[in-house]
Amino acid sequence: MAVGKRTTLFAVLGICLALLSACTGARLPRTVAAGDRDRTTTSLGEGADTTTGDGATRTTAAGGDPFAGASGTVPKVTVPGGGPAPTTASPPARSTLFTSKEDSVGITKTSIDLCAHAALTYGAAFNTSKDDLNVYWSAVNDAGGIFGRKVNVTYENDNYSPDTAVQAATACKGKGIFFLLGGIGFDQIPAVRNWAETNHMLYLHHTATVQGTANQRYSFTGLPSTEKMGEMFGELVAARYKGKKVGIIKRNSPNWEPGVTAFKAIAKKYGISIVAERAVQNNQGSYTQEILDMQQADVVWIWENALASTQIVKQAKAQNFNPDWLLFPFNLTSQTLGQDALNPKLVGVAMYPAYSKGDLSGQFAGYAEDIKEFEAQYKKYRPNVDLGGVAGDLLFLNWTGQKGLHLLLKQCGPDCTRNRLVDVLTGFKATRPFPSSCNVDFSRPGFARMGGFSVNIMETYRAPDNAVNWRNTDTCVEHLL
Amino acid sequence: MGEVFVLGAIAGGIYGLFAVATVLVYRGSGVLNFAQGEVGTLGLFLAVWLINDHGMPWVVGALAAVVVTTAIGVLFERFVVRKMGDAPRVSVAVATVGLLLFVLSGELVRVGASPKSLPGPFSGNGWRIAGVVVSPTQALSLVVALGVGVALATLLRRTDFGLGVLAAAQDPSAAQLVGVPVNRVSAFVWGAGAGLSTVACLLVAPGLGAFAPGALGRLFLFGLAAAIVGGLTSLPGAFVGGLVVGLVEASSGRIFAESSLPGVKTLAVFILLLVTLLVRPHGLFGTRESRHG
């Protein structure tokens, strides 16, 4: 073979490798991406004590759910209209999103089939398996399910790639599921949202942008949007680092950028000086140049996933650059950084509650019942899972998401269909329905089926078991200013 | 400007090391080994296990990692490459992609994808040069890349074994007829390539701060670009190619620092690669006649 042709051929192979690496290993970091946690479920971290639009409420015991009796923390459910919960056939659903043929797909008298797209390839990032993720449903099903229905959740790998996520969603649909769940990933959710519209699939997903959701009808999330997260990081800077110069290291992605725009709007409003803003590529590896560009900053906001955040902090230390850091709070990051995560303490904004195995002090006490229940269930169903390791906080947020989903399905009632669930979702408004949950309000106008507005502010600390973990300093705050 | 040179040299040393390993295997077998970066990463995890988890000295953990990955390279040659003796070289290259996926999957299953970190062989804060703190390990990687490139070039040019490596790559049958131990030569280049990749990863890891399976893929890719730019047949060229790629990356990063153009550094290296292939397909130091036909 001629030299030039051979070289060209290998170059082409090299490019193929690049693509391959982009689809496999290169994804890890996103693996541990920003919100890379609640891979399983919804996010609707809410449930009962719900009040809907008409104001009149009535209370029933946990929607008749057998699981309610098995758990001291399943709250009472309030539904509109007054009087006891209906025991006869429910009135027709208001929503007409689904045809009669589509309405009851995936739900029978004995089962509810759900499917999630998630970055399963990197499940190992959290030292978790599918069985670890399904502990909550194991407990629910063992207690009789929801109105006698067992909940079955399966998973399809989205590899943190929008294209693969759409393929995963298609595979999920092929299983005849009741609705689709979207795991963490700023980049894949918008693609699946578009897919859900054209494929008439009810889609409950993790944090994503408001941008791009105009006129969409099939997608919901109970978590704060990407924009809200950026706004809260901005408010945190304005509240805690007044007068300090700020640098931004951000993911170069249109699905992340709206968070930066929101951050900068807050910065402008409160006169925060942004001295440098640098975009980095997914899995860039070396960030020395960007770190050097941050030298004038007192505070650096890292709008990137956990691996990149870890690398940036580490590489900055090597450059003797030691600003205050703001980033997504994962125990994965703090435990990897160890002492470097405490000097100074890292600060984060999260859409999920902090978890540190066995610690019920401080703000953990506010949701101690949930922590105890979570630890008890894992002790029973998955005793070998190391909740004190990097998986602990991830599994806890996953668990709280499932708990919220559980309450949502109970709200939907014994005659639940997709249209009835849409009715529940569109009117869903709950104040701290269970201890580890923040408020959810789908009734706010102009928020495109996004019901989360509160976040948790966290900082790193030395946990009782000596690990460096995160803990809440402010729980469920909607504004800091 | 000084900052760009320092950053380029640091990155270039890393790319140069990967490039030297790539060129060695290519020169000895006519195959691009796409698994090298990940095999090196596997060695890194072994070193983490020995050094971090079992408290062994850095040198011991590093040596063990190099030995084990060298063995993997030799075994891959023995049970895959050799069995594909008459197959087109491109087929063997595709087989290395299979090895890449196998190793990556193994890492994910066995060690998980959680970030790990590994200290360097030296402690100390390093030296501030043109505003950039250069760690002792980063300086070492530059020296090692150059030293290994020159040493291997000397080996291949000045020794019977080295000439045998070149002969076996160009015409295995003829080489065997004149007494070149073709199988041993082949095992050497595959084993040494894997071992060198591990050395590269061991020197890169402290600078990254944290790594996970597949996370060094981009660095290997830039090492591959460095090998092509330097000339796939030239070991010193691999080192120079590494520096060129590092400088292009650092320069583009500085010039377009404010740009929101996605992947500007990667794009710059890609353009460098394309220009090289169009203008000088045999690279800066490669020669047309020394390529495998």
Q: What are phi and psi of A479, to 5 degrees?
A: -145, 150
Nearest to A309 by CA among A33, A125, A43, A104: A33
DSSP strand E in A244-341: where? 245-251, 273-280, 299-303, 324-327
CB of A3 within 8 Å of a chain B CB? The answer is yes
Name chain A contacts of B221, Cβ cutoff 8 Å. 14, 17-18, 21
**Are residues A239 and A331 part of one domain?**
yes
Cβ within 8 Å, pair B32-A293: no
CB of A339 within 8 Å of a chain B CB? The answer is no
In whole angstroms, what is the distance from residue A178 CA to residue A115 CA? 8
Strands A179-182 and A111-118, sheet pairing:
parallel
B204-to-A60, A243, A340, B197 alpha-carbon distances in Å: 61, 37, 20, 10
Whether B139 contacts B239, CB under 8 Å: no
A101-112: average pLDDT: 96
Nearest to A314 among B117, B131, B281 (CB): B117
Backbone dihedral region for residue A477 (phi beyond 0: left; psi -120 to 50: alpha; all else: beta)? beta
Would the pLDDT of A439 be above 70? yes
Name chain B contacts of A282, Cβ cutoff 8 Å. none
Name chain B contacts of A319, Cβ cutoff 8 Å. 132-133
Cβ within 8 Å, pair B104-A11: no
pLDDT (0 to 100) of residue A121 = 55
In whole angstroms, what is the distance from residue A22 CA to residue B177 CA? 44
A308-325: average pLDDT: 94
Nearest to A281 among B114, B266, B288 (CB): B266
pLDDT (0 to 100) of residue A14 = 43
In whole angstroms, what is the distance from residue B13 CA to residue A447 CA? 50
Nearest to A24 among B214, B253, B265 (CB): B214
**Are residues A243 and A214 part of one domain?**
no
pLDDT (0 to 100) of residue B288 = 65
pLDDT (0 to 100) of residue B92 = 93
Backbone dihedral region for residue B27 (phi beyond 0: left; psi -120 to 50: alpha; all else: beta)? alpha
Nearest to B240 by CA among B140, B142, B172, B130: B142
| Residue A409, domain extent | 57-84+93-224+359-450
Within 10 A of A94 (CB to CB), how many other CB atoms are there?
11
Among B25, B97, B114, which would you mutate to test the A interface (most chain A Cβ atoms within 10 Å of its Cβ)?
Answer: B114
CA-based nearest distance A222→chain B, Å = 28
CB of A83 within 8 Å of a chain B CB? The answer is no
Would the pLDDT of A83 be above 50? no
Whether A40 is in a domain gets the answer: no
Taking CA–CA distances from B250, the nearest residue in chain A reads A289
Taking CA–CA distances from A125, the nearest residue in chain B reads B113
Strands A347-350 and A455-462, sheet pairing:
antiparallel
- Binned at pLDDT 50, 70 and 90, residue A282 comes out as confident
Nearest to A397 by CA among A184, A236, A202: A184
247-306 in chain A: CB under 8 A from chain B:
252-253, 277-279, 281, 283-286, 288-289, 292-293, 306
Name chain A contacts of B253, Cβ cutoff 8 Å. 289
A453 vs A70, residue with greater confidence: A453
CB within 8 Å of A406: residues ≥ 6 apart: A47, A67, A74, A136, A140, A146, A151
- Exposed, middle or buried: residue A287 (CB in 10 Å: 0-12, 13-18, 19+)? buried
- Give the residues across from A469 on adjacent strands: A461
Nearest to A48 by CA among A438, A410, A452: A410
In whole angstroms, what is the distance from residue B119 CA to residue A467 CA? 19
Q: What are phi and psi of A334, to 5 degrees?
A: -65, -35
**Are residues A232 and A217 part of one domain?**
no
Cβ within 8 Å, pair A319-B132: yes
SS3 label, residue A232: helix
**Are residues A235 and A213 part of one domain?**
no
A169-to-A117, A202, A225, B71 alpha-carbon distances in Å: 6, 11, 21, 42
Would the pLDDT of A110 be above 90? yes
pLDDT (0 to 100) of residue A276 = 95
- Give the residues across from A342 on adjacent strands: A345
Would the pLDDT of A86 be above 50? no
Helix axes B58-76, B182-208, angle to 10 degrees: 140
Nearest to A21 among B135, B218, B291 (CB): B218
Whether A40 contacts A157, CB under 8 Å: no
* Number of domains chain B is built from: 1
Would the pLDDT of A84 be above 60? no
In the chain, the amino acid numbered B12 is G
Whether B244 is in a domain gets the answer: no
Q: What is the CA radius of gyration of chain B?
A: 19
Would the pLDDT of A40 be above 80? no
Assess: ipTM above 0.90: no
pLDDT (0 to 100) of residue B51 = 94
Whether B191 contacts B73, CB under 8 Å: yes
Give me the average pLDDT of each 10-residue run along chain B (293 residues). Answer: 88 89 88 92 94 93 96 96 88 94 88 80 84 89 85 87 83 83 90 93 88 84 92 88 94 84 85 93 75 42
pLDDT (0 to 100) of residue A375 = 97
Whether B141 contacts B12, CB under 8 Å: no
**Are residues A363 and A346 part of one domain?**
no
Cβ within 8 Å, pair A336-B7: no
B181-to-A69, B17, B155, B177, B187 alpha-carbon distances in Å: 76, 27, 16, 10, 10
Q: What are phi and psi of A350, to 5 degrees?
A: -135, 155
Strands A179-182 and A203-205, sheet pairing:
parallel
Structure token digits, residue B285: 């130091």
SS3 label, residue A369: helix
Whether B244 contacts B226, CB under 8 Å: yes
Q: Which residues of B220-234 are buried (b: 16+ CB within 10 A; e: fewer)?
A: bbbbbbbbbbbbbbb
Cβ within 8 Å, pair A20-B100: yes
CB within 8 Å of A158: residues ≥ 6 apart: A117, A118, A119, A120, A164, A165, A167, A168, A183, A185, A188
pLDDT (0 to 100) of residue A89 = 63
Whether A18 contacts A10, CB under 8 Å: no
**Are residues A343 and A253 part of one domain?**
yes
Taking CA–CA distances from B289, the nearest residue in chain A reads A3
Cβ within 8 Å, pair B209-A124: no
Name chain B contacts of A27, Cβ cutoff 8 Å. 214
Whether B56 is in a domain gets the answer: yes
- Asked if residue B213 has a cis previous peptide bond (ω within 30° of 0), the answer is no
A450-471: average pLDDT: 95
Helix axes B235-255, B136-158, angle to 10 degrees: 150
Q: What angle do CA A67, A450, A405 make, to 5 degrees?
A: 10
pLDDT (0 to 100) of residue A278 = 93
**Are residues A180 and A128 part of one domain?**
yes
| Residue B173, domain extent | 2-8+16-213
Nearest to A25 among B3, B10, B213 (CB): B213
SS3 label, residue A167: helix
In whole angstroms, what is the distance from residue A116 CA to residue B235 CA? 49
Chain centroid to Cα B125, Å, comes to 26
In whole angstroms, what is the distance from residue A220 CA to residue A360 CA? 32
In whole angstroms, what is the distance from residue A315 CA to residue A312 CA? 5
A221-227: average pLDDT: 93
Would the pLDDT of A50 be above 70? no
Cβ within 8 Å, pair B217-A7: no
**Are residues A150 and A108 part of one domain?**
yes
Whether A24 contacts A416, CB under 8 Å: no
Taking CA–CA distances from B88, the nearest residue in chain A reads A1
From A186-190, A415-419, A454-458, the region with the lowest mean pLDDT: A186-190
Cβ within 8 Å, pair A26-B218: yes
**% of chain A exceeding 70 in pLDDT:** 79
Cβ within 8 Å, pair B209-A311: yes
In whole angstroms, what is the distance from residue A26 CA to residue B266 CA? 14
Whether A425 is in a domain gets the answer: yes
Q: What angle do CA A177, A226, B253 make, to 5 degrees?
A: 120
* Residue keyed to tokens 């002492």: A339
Whether B7 contacts B243, CB under 8 Å: no
In the chain, the amino acid numbered B16 is G
pLDDT (0 to 100) of residue B86 = 81
Strands A245-251 and A273-280, sheet pairing:
parallel
CB of A122 within 8 Å of a chain B CB? The answer is yes
Cβ within 8 Å, pair A289-B266: no
Three-class secondary structure assignment of chain B: CHHHHHHHHHHHHHHHHHHHHHHHHHHHHCCCCCCHHHHHHHHHHHHHHHHHHCCCCHHHHHHHHHHHHHHHHHHHHHHHHHHHCCCCHHHHHHHHHHHHHHHHHHHHHHCCCCCECCCCCCCCCCEEECCEEECHHHHHHHHHHHHHHHHHHHHHHHCHHHHHHHHHHHCHHHHHHCCCCHHHHHHHHHHHHHHHHHHHHHHHHHHHCCECCCCCHHHHHHHHHHHHHHCCCCHHHHHHHHHHHHHHHHHHHHHCCCCCCCCHHHHHHHHHHHHHHHHCCCCCCCCCCCCCC
SS3 label, residue A61: coil
**H-only helix segments in A278-430:** 288-293, 306-318, 331-337, 368-381, 392-412, 418-427
Structure token digits, residue A279: 């975009």
In the chain, the amino acid numbered B111 is V
Nearest to A52 by CA among A409, A420, A424: A424
A155-160: average pLDDT: 84
* Number of domains chain A is built from: 2
CATH number at residue A253: 3.40.50.2300
Would the pLDDT of A33 be above 60? no
